[in-house]
Amino acid sequence: MLVLDRVGKVYPNGVHALSGVSAEVALGEIVAVIGGSGCGKSTLLRAVAGLDPASEGAVLLDGERISAPHEKIGIIFQEPRLLPWLKVADNVGFGLHDRPKDERAQRVAAALKRVGLADKAQVWPRELSGGQAQRASIARALVPRPEVLLLDEPFSALDAFTRGDLQDHLLDLWADAKPTLIVVTHDVEEAIVLADRVMVMRPRPGHIFEEIGVDLPRPRDRQSAAFDFVKRRLLSALDRSLNRAGAEPGEEQKAAAGAALWW
Amino acid sequence: MTIVAEGTPANEPAGANRWTRLTRPALGLVLPVTLAAAWEIIVRMGWSTGRLVPPPSVVFTTFVDLARTGDLQRDTLVTLGRVAAGFGFGVVAATIVGAAAGYSPLVRRLLDPTLQALRAIPSIAWVPLFVLWLGIFEASKITLIAVGVFFPVYLGLMGAIQSVDRKLVEVGRAFRLSDTEMVYRILLPAVLPAYIISLRSGLGLGWMFVVAAEFLGASEGLGYLLIDGQQLGKPAEIVAAIVAFAIIGKVTDWLIALAAAPFLRWEDVVRHD
């Protein structure tokens, strides 16, 4: 269980990036965090990762306070961030250097096979395409078997086809060990395809504005009417989070009424 | 020898690849060979005496004569020894100071302004002082060379450490590397290419400074050969010494590049011309 207890972040330069974010995420749950730029979603993720610890409140994983990177928490960045001087296999095994060589080789080989890069084990990262490199970085994060996997806009640098592929692939990989996933994204469809629950954030200072459950059966059909419906709800919540005109509360009520018709 | 980054020629057929690999260096030889041949012909035809600018054949004969008496070998070894010692001391000092200044902002703020100020002094200006302090023999020569080698290596290493991709360092942090692990698993490999380049330019300066050092009261060494040729009016000996400098300078540079190559295979495109 991952608990965020009134998490806040004030940077040394005085910027109040995050304030009073509380949430409970059960093991195996997939949560998407969405919001406009500057809403503090990446700050939140970095606080959970322990890379930039929270300055207020606490992040607790199974009761343990997270103030530095933790072995049970893995992270995937927007860019693959493979180390260019290591072969792909050595990159994937980067987090296993304290394990015996045999075990490492075996787990790396299994992970590479799982992400479809078995034939790329001995090439340099620069020889991979963008999608392949991101798959290698997913494998690298999954190999140490984290309990919580954080993803910071993991597919936003990829083209639409590759992105869709990798979203499905990520869910497929998730099903192996069912870690908790927290995905920061600015892509509404990505949030709905992946998540059990979407948190919409709002800036100045960053806080959770609204939470929307995504109660659709998996695998999710991006073309279905139900999918489209959740998407509209989410878009309207996003609009309201940005204080846009044309997103009056009344409209949300109509949408909620529509929900009753759908299920 | 230079490192040239270009688009990967992977899509070129292997035959064309081999062809360019053979012709490209040859292309660079066209100009000097033509000039040398032209000068040889001019002298042979008697249009010039070639007394001040000896033709290639005379330089070659001088070269062979010097080698036969053993002078060339002795001078080369002496010069090589001086460069090796100066390069060694300079690199060790520059690596320690450069690494500390690159790694710790405090050390950088403390040392860098002074070192930058010292760097602005033309290194030859140190010579009288070194001679006063260390005498006219080896110590002052080696110190001068070490000073010449120090600055490019120091600057290269410090700059390389400062410009290590913060995002890769963060990967190391996310995997909970200790400080020492961070150094040898992330910083060291990230810094290596720039460090090798700085070693090579340091060595180049080392060769420059050994000549300056040997101009001042040396009784052996290739630089002494240059002075000797000037004082006795033997231009062929000067040119022979210059050729010897060119050859061992190039060879030692190539040796560094060769030794580093296995560690730099990952670099995008590294091609040695």
| ipTM rounded to 2 decimals | 0.81
Q: How many CB pairs under 8 A join A and B?
A: 40
The model's pLDDT over A205-263, given as tens digits with 9 standing for 90+, comes to 887 777 777 777 778 888 888 778 888 888 888 878 777 544 444 444 444 444 444 44
Alpha helix (H) residue ranges in A178-248: 188-194, 225-241
Q: Which of residues 222-261 of B touch A (CB under 8 A)?
A: none
pLDDT band (50, 70, 90) for residue B7 = very low
The model's pLDDT over A100-130, given as tens digits with 9 standing for 90+, comes to 888 888 888 888 888 888 888 888 888 888 8
Our CA dihedral for B181, B186, B192, B194, rounded to 10 degrees, sits at: -140
Q: Does B269 touch chain A (CB under 8 A)?
A: no
Q: Is A206 left (phi over 0), alpha (psi -120 to 50) or beta?
A: beta
- Nearest CA to B211 among B184, B246, B181? B246
- Look-up of token digits 């054949």: B57
3-state secondary structure of A148: strand
CA B71 to chain centre: 24
- Nearest CA to A191 among A161, A154, A162? A154
pLDDT band (50, 70, 90) for residue A58 = confident
Of A68, A71, A81, the CB nearest to B171: A81
A131-141 in b/e form (b: 16+ CB < 10 A) is bbbbbbbbbbb
Q: Which of residues 132-171 of A touch B (CB under 8 A)?
A: none
Does the distance separating the beta carbons of A86 and B174 come in below 8 Å? no
Assess contact for B207 and B144: CB atoms under 8 A: no
A181-220 in b/e form (b: 16+ CB < 10 A) is bbbbbbbbbbbbbbbbbbbbbbbebbbbbbebebebeeeb
Has residue B264 got a pLDDT over 70? Answer: yes
Tokens of A238: 């996003």
> Chain B closest CA to A45's CA: distance in Å?
12
Has residue B240 got a pLDDT over 50? Answer: yes
pLDDT band (50, 70, 90) for residue A44 = confident
Locate the domains of chain B by residue range. Answer: 3-12+56-272
Q: Does B68 touch chain A (CB under 8 A)?
A: no
Assess contact for A31 and A199: CB atoms under 8 A: yes
- Look-up of token digits 């380049």: B197
Please state the rounded mean pLDDT for residues B107-130: 89
Q: Is B235 exposed, middle or buried (0-12, 13-18, 19+ CB in 10 A)?
A: middle
Does the distance separating the beta carbons of B174 and A94 come in below 8 Å? no
Fold of B3-12+56-272: MetI-like fold (1.10.3720)
The model's pLDDT over B147-175, given as tens digits with 9 standing for 90+, comes to 999 999 999 999 999 999 889 999 998 88
Has residue B119 got a pLDDT over 60? Answer: yes
pLDDT at site B15:
56
Q: Cα(B150)–Cα(B192) distance, rounded to whole angstroms?
A: 17
The model's pLDDT over B14-54, given as tens digits with 9 standing for 90+, comes to 556 667 777 777 888 889 889 989 989 998 888 888 788 88
Domains of chain A plus CATH, in order, are: 2-262 (3.40.50.300)
Q: Cα(B79)–Cα(B85) distance, rounded to whole angstroms?
A: 10
Q: Cα(A20)–Cα(A245) distance, rounded to whole angstroms?
A: 27
